[in-house]
């Protein structure tokens, strides 16, 4: 059964996180200039006129299956005002923000969505909800900021009739701050900005700035092994996790007793990255640092990607300790130049690299000097601060641009992987070829650009952005290209995802990633903690 | 049945690793000077005359239970020359090197030992052995260097009649070196020195130098979450592991596809620290680095432990990146001074700290300058290079000293924990009190000294050395003291072990460490991979 609601505004007490059919908030969406639309029209053979967005009230939504008895059972736990089946609330929890999600939102077919959304107040209510759902066979999708780009919060019912989204936004407190040890205990529902605001009151910062920063949640960062743009300096989110509290249908896990331990396997690492399939993370104690005294910005030009990558490698292997260290390939550098021409960006040929250093003035000066020597010796030309500051200024804006492109009938999506330094060029070439060849075979020439945004002593990430004209069925079009890219990754020694997680979209490749026996290990843990299988069905575990 | 063998020399083809009844090799054992023996005699009320060691041939050894059929089954896999039931070989595999192990070796009671030792050539033979043992219900104790100090290689039979030691020393090759990425693939049976030698031929170093370095193995480092004395610079062994190959009765696991990944839980972290209970690690790809150009040594004095700990904290939290960073408390500083008086050590009051920095000359100069500023500002007095070089020179010798003390009737053992910086003083006081009070209640005043040898942004390890007179039953005496210390650790927010692992000795506290549900998770994984339970019974998993 499908219902179309003509009057709904969502629940009053719970402000929306993001708009239902695109990234972010309405104010973030700016139309592209006529000049850029004209350019896109030429390149991709499109009209350059955006398709108007739909009104949520016109969306045919599959009716909720929540029974009256279950509504009562759930509201007995959270209270009447913290359960909603309002269509707009359901739409806002209907998935994440992958291009596939956004294309589905634009689709005229009936939309599926969670049958209800519950907003527990605390860990105890999460535990009670899990017990209820396990006993009454209701699937549970944990929902933080809803920024997943891999189908991680899709309302998959699995073998159950009903699926609810368990929205963690009310777990939004900072529960303990230890400035001596540099740790803080954060509620799973805190967004990135709110966590920074609460820490900032103590003179502290987390330093985790993924592109999803403005909307994503602390629990989501942990559950998906998120990695921020300052990972060179402050580590991946995995590295920041000191302690976790995890709610499961079988009880609470309380993991991490010390900064380091030899007391057996590190079980935190089973739940970091578990994507709500093994339990729901309700609280995370993270490593924090004082708000840095100073930040030094520097941009660099390298003749080509190979030279730039080799230069980044020398910096990270020497332990020169930048906070941000990134490199755009020739295509991305050229396109960013085109985009930034209006705002006075420096002309950059070859490949643009960016470094920042944070800490005390003396610390920054020493590190920056060492990196400058290494990058110069490796063939880099210093470009000054401006391009680096400009990158930082616009670093959360790219997803809004994607929506503008989708509106114009242009397909735009990103994907990412990682590998060793020695395998980086091979992997980059393989993924680029897979994407361009798959899209070309479908009759749509593609632009594929790439950057390195996360570096390690032994290797680096590769982040690809793909742009092509949308075909009549852009979902099928992208699925073909994405499959080709994924096969190239696993066939060329890369990981299926460096920081976007597995969700529903990468699940078919988990066997290639960890082997059949590794999959059996995950299933064994899931059986133990979630014997009825209500936790986020259809995600992560094949 | 007990047999005493009067003629045995061990198998000819496999040179012994360590002597059967003490640490290390015979040449490492030097008698204490008459002066020190006299001093110990005064302090502890002992004669100062060492009890002579026993001849292995006089040791009553419980007879092997290996059946002829099983001998044939096992030698069909490894070949006749790679299975031994020779009593001396069995004694050499009868346990690790904890003080309890060494006291048991000195005991007149019949000694238990593995019923046979097998020496597989490669991963395939390990797989075949596990399949055979699972099918024929033979317990398997993986054996690397045999340096466990927590009962990790005790020949526990569990519910089985027969237990074998699976000695990995023949897995001693370096299989891949990638100098660009800074990785190398090492056989699990390589000892620390041999791994460094093979890497050194490529201009590379692992930089993992635990006190067991000279004898312990790569597989053992991974299986026990070992941490070396240069952990501030090169990380714990956990941090170095890029890729693992693990043999289990259910198949092979091949884990770690990239320097970092968001493809679900990090399953490597289930096997790092699994102590042979979930599988046998046969190969480890580790992060390596170029042999450093230069090393800078510096020693420091602080007025007291609190001031020194605060100073170390500022260094690690600032990211000053020392290679070694350690601090002895007042008691340890005083005793080391007494010991080093003969060799011209500087007189040091208060607490001695040591830093080293490694890398290029410029890198070392910058880091060392930053640390010098921070340590000076925190109240430290620079003592020059000599005490730091002296510490490095003697850093693998302490276990030999323990044997000399045991021979004199002095109890000597170490234990370690870790916690946050803000909890460090509380934990140190609690463990010190627990040890001194437990031993005092038994009528034996104790010396308890402590140092910090591993630092993290959020906390540090505490390593205790305990010295007291042996009572008539020193095993019971130490068990009481160790139990008191362990209870103090888990009761004061510390981990039960920072780098010695769990083995048999810490197993009773695993519930306190990871909770009952955490224990259930470990059991679920073990059931999946080792359904018959042959892998290292009685260790780690409660």
User: pLDDT tens digits, residue range B111-148?
Assistant: 999 999 999 999 999 999 999 999 999 999 999 999 99
- Residues near B334 by beta carbon (within 8 Å), at least 6 away in sequence: none
Mean pLDDT of A402-429: 97
**pLDDT of A52:** 87
pLDDT of B5 strictly over 50: no
**Which of A269-283, A405-419, B33-47, B502-516 is least confident?**
B33-47
Q: B interface mutation test: which of A258, A284, A370 has the most B CBs within 10 A?
A: A258
**pLDDT of A108:** 81
pLDDT of A7 strictly over 50: no
Ranges of beta strands (E only) in B85-137 are 116-118
Can you say whether the dihedral through the CA atoms of B41, B46, B47, B49 is positive or negative?
A: negative
- The Cα B243–Cα B228 span in angstroms is 19
Three-state DSSP at B282 gives strand
- The Cα A349–Cα B352 span in angstroms is 54
Per-residue pLDDT tens digits for A150-197: 999 999 999 999 999 999 999 999 999 999 999 999 999 999 999 999
Considering only CB atoms, A497 lies closest to which of B242, B261, B493, namely B261
Please report, for residues A186, A222, A473, the alpha-carbon distance to residue A107 in angstroms, rounded to integers and kept in the order given.
Answer: 38, 32, 10
pLDDT bucket at A339, cuts 50 / 70 / 90? low
pLDDT bucket at A453, cuts 50 / 70 / 90? very high
Three-state DSSP at B186 gives strand
Q: B interface mutation test: which of A216, A260, A456, A522 has the most B CBs within 10 A?
A: A260
Count Cβ atoms within 10 A of the Cβ of residue A1 and give its class: 0-12 exposed, 13-18 middle, 19 or more buried: exposed
**pLDDT of A11:** 55
Sheet holding A241-248, edge to edge: A174-178, A183-187, A280-287, A241-248, A251-255
**φ, ψ dihedrals at B375, nearest 5°:** -70, -35
Contacts of A258 in chain B (CB under 8 A): 417-420, 459, 494-495, 498
* CA neighbor of A185 nearest in space, from A143, A222, A211: A222
What b/e readout covers A167-196, taking b as 16+ CB neighbours within 10 angstroms? bbbbbbebeebbeebbbbbbbbbbbbebbb
Pairing assessment for the beta strands A162-167 and A116-118 based on DSSP bridges: parallel
Per-residue pLDDT tens digits for A466-487: 999 999 999 999 999 999 999 9
- The Cα A462–Cα A68 span in angstroms is 49
pLDDT bucket at A393, cuts 50 / 70 / 90? very high
CB contact under 8 A, A319 and B458: no
Per-residue pLDDT tens digits for B326-367: 999 999 999 876 555 444 455 567 999 999 999 999 999 999
pLDDT bucket at A527, cuts 50 / 70 / 90? very high
pLDDT bucket at A122, cuts 50 / 70 / 90? very high
Mean pLDDT of A489-511: 98
Can you say whether the dihedral through the CA atoms of A420, A424, A426, A432 is positive or negative?
A: positive
Can you say whether the dihedral through the CA atoms of A282, A286, A290, A296 is positive or negative?
A: negative
- The Cα B452–Cα B117 span in angstroms is 38
Mean pLDDT of B254-274: 98
Q: Give Rg (Cα) of chain A.
A: 23
ipTM here: 0.95
Count Cβ atoms within 10 A of the Cβ of residue B47 and give its class: 0-12 exposed, 13-18 middle, 19 or more buried: exposed
pLDDT of A341 strictly over 90: no
**pLDDT of B180:** 98
CB contact under 8 A, B454 and A514: no
- The proportion of chain B whose per-residue pLDDT surpasses 90, expressed as a percent, equals 87
Mean pLDDT of B390-411: 93
Per-residue pLDDT tens digits for B290-303: 999 999 999 999 99
CB contact under 8 A, B261 and A423: no
pLDDT of B488 strictly over 50: yes
Is the minimum CB–CB distance between B370 and chain A shorter than 8 Å?
A: yes
**pLDDT of A88:** 93
pLDDT of B162 strictly over 70: yes
Q: Within a 10 A sphere around the Cβ of B435, how many other Cβ atoms?
A: 23
Three-state DSSP at A205 gives strand
Per-residue pLDDT tens digits for A61-104: 999 999 999 999 999 999 999 999 999 999 999 999 999 999 99
**pLDDT of A343:** 40
**pLDDT of A342:** 42
Considering only CB atoms, A363 lies closest to which of B227, B273, B318, namely B318
**φ, ψ dihedrals at B315, nearest 5°:** -65, -45
pLDDT bucket at B541, cuts 50 / 70 / 90? very high
Considering only CB atoms, A269 lies closest to which of B269, B278, B541, namely B269
pLDDT bucket at A6, cuts 50 / 70 / 90? very low
**pLDDT of B53:** 87
Mean pLDDT of B141-158: 97
pLDDT of A2 strictly over 70: no
pLDDT bucket at A417, cuts 50 / 70 / 90? very high
CB contact under 8 A, A269 and B270: yes
CA angle (A501, A504, A507) in 5-degree steps = 75
pLDDT bucket at B48, cuts 50 / 70 / 90? confident
Whole-structure pTM value: 0.96
**pLDDT of B12:** 43
- The proportion of chain A whose per-residue pLDDT surpasses 90, expressed as a percent, equals 87
CA angle (B141, B147, B151) in 5-degree steps = 55
Q: Within a 10 A sphere around the Cβ of B38, how many other Cβ atoms?
A: 12
pLDDT of A224 strictly over 90: yes
Instruction: Indicate the average pLDDT of chain B.
Output: 94
Ordered DSSP codes for B207-242: ----TTTTT-BHHHHHHTT---TTHHHH--HHHHEE
Is the minimum CB–CB distance between A250 and chain B shorter than 8 Å?
A: yes
3-state helix, strand, coil in chain B (%, to 5): 40, 20, 40
Q: Within a 10 A sphere around the Cβ of B254, how many other Cβ atoms?
A: 15
Q: Give Rg (Cα) of chain B.
A: 23
- The Cα A294–Cα A280 span in angstroms is 37
pLDDT of B161 strictly over 60: yes
**pLDDT of B109:** 85
B348-351, long-range: CB < 8 A, 24+ apart = B348/B299, B348/B301, B348/B383, B348/B387, B349/B301, B350/B301, B350/B302, B350/B303, B350/B304, B350/B308, B351/B301, B351/B302, B351/B303, B351/B304, B351/B305, B351/B307, B351/B308, B351/B327
Considering only CB atoms, A318 lies closest to which of B180, B363, B499, namely B363
User: Higher pLDDT residue, B398 or A123?
Assistant: A123
**Cβ pairs A/B, distance under 8 A:** 315
Mean pLDDT of A16-27: 90
Tell the residue number behind the tokens 């000191």, with chain if given.
A242
**pLDDT of B6:** 40
Instruction: Indicate the average pLDDT of chain A.
Output: 94
**pLDDT of A109:** 85
Per-residue pLDDT tens digits for B205-261: 999 999 999 999 999 999 999 999 999 999 999 999 999 999 999 999 999 999 999
pLDDT of B7 strictly over 50: no
User: Higher pLDDT residue, B45 or A536?
Assistant: A536
Contact A221, A162 (CB under 8 A): no
Ranges of beta strands (E only) in A289-365 are 289-290, 294-302, 324-328, 351-359
pLDDT of A207 strictly over 60: yes
pLDDT bucket at A406, cuts 50 / 70 / 90? very high
Mean pLDDT of A287-312: 97
**pLDDT of B1:** 46
Among chain B residues, CA nearest to A223: B264
Record the tokens describing residue B315, joined without a space.
Answer: 């260094």
A517 Cα to chain B: minimum distance (Å): 6
Contacts of A224 in chain B (CB under 8 A): 262
Pairing assessment for the beta strands A241-248 and A204-205 based on DSSP bridges: unpaired
């Amino acid at each position: 059964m499908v219902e179309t609601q003509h009057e709904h505004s969502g629940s009053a007490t719970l402000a929306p996180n993001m708009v239902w059919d695109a990234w972010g908030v309405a104010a973030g969406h700016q139309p592209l200039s006529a000049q850029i639309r004209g350019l896109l029209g030429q390149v991709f053979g499109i009209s350059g006129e955006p398709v108007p967005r739909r009104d949520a009230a016109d969306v045919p939504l599959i009716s909720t299956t929540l029974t009256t008895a279950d509504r009562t059972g759930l509201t007995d736990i959270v209270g009447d005002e913290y359960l909603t089946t309002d269509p707009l609330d359901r739409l806002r929890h209907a998935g994440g923000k992958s291009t596939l999600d956004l294309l589905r939102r634009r689709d005229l077919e009936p939309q599926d969505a969670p049958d209800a959304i519950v907003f527990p107040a605390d860990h105890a209510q999460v535990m009670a909800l899990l017990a209820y759902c396990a006993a009454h066979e209701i699937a549970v999708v944990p929902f933080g900021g809803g920024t997943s780009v891999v189908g991680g919060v899709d309302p998959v019912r699995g073998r159950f009739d009903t699926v609810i989204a368990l929205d963690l936004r009310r777990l939004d407190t900072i529960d303990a701050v230890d400035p001596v040890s540099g740790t803080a205990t954060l509620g799973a529902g805190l967004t990135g900005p709110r966590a920074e605001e609460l820490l900032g009151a103590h003179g502290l910062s987390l330093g985790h700035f993924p592109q999803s920063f403005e909307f994503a949640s602390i629990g989501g960062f942990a559950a998906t092994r998120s990695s921020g743009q300052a990972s060179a300096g402050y580590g991946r989110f995995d590295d920041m996790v000191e302690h976790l509290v995890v709610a499961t249908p079988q009880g609470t896990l309380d993991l991490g007793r010390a900064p380091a331990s030899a007391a057996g396997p590190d079980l935190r690492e089973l739940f970091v990255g578990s994507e709500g399939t093994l339990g729901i993370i309700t609280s995370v104690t993270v490593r924090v640092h004082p708000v840095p005294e100073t930040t030094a910005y520097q941009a660099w030009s390298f003749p080509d990607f190979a030279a730039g990558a080799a230069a980044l490698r020398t910096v990270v292997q020497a332990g020169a300790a930048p906070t941000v260290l990134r490199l755009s390939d020739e295509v991305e550098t050229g396109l960013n130049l085109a985009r930034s021409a209006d705002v006075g960006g420096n002309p950059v040929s070859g490949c643009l690299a960016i470094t920042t250093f944070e800490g005390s003035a003396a610390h920054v000066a020493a590190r920056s000097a060492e990196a400058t020597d290494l990058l110069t010796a490796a063939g880099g030309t210093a470009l000054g601060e401006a391009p680096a500051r400009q990158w930082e200024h616009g670093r959360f804006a790219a997803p809004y641009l994607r929506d503008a492109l989708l509106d114009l009938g242009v397909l735009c999506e990103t994907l990412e992987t990682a590998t060793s330094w020695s395998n980086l060029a091979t992997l980059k070439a393989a993924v680029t070829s897979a994407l361009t060849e798959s899209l070309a075979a479908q009759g749509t020439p593609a632009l594929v650009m790439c950057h390195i945004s996360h570096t390690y002593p032994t290797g680096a990430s590769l982040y690809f952005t793909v742009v092509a004209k949308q075909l009549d069925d852009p979902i099928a079009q992208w699925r073909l290209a994405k499959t080709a890219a994924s096969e190239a990754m696993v066939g060329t020694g890369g990981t299926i995802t460096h920081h976007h997680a597995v969700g529903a979209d990468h699940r078919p490749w988990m066997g290639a990633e960890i082997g059949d026996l590794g999959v059996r290990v995950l299933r064994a843990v899931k059986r133990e903690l979630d014997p009825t299988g209500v936790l986020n069905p259809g995600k992560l575990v094949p």
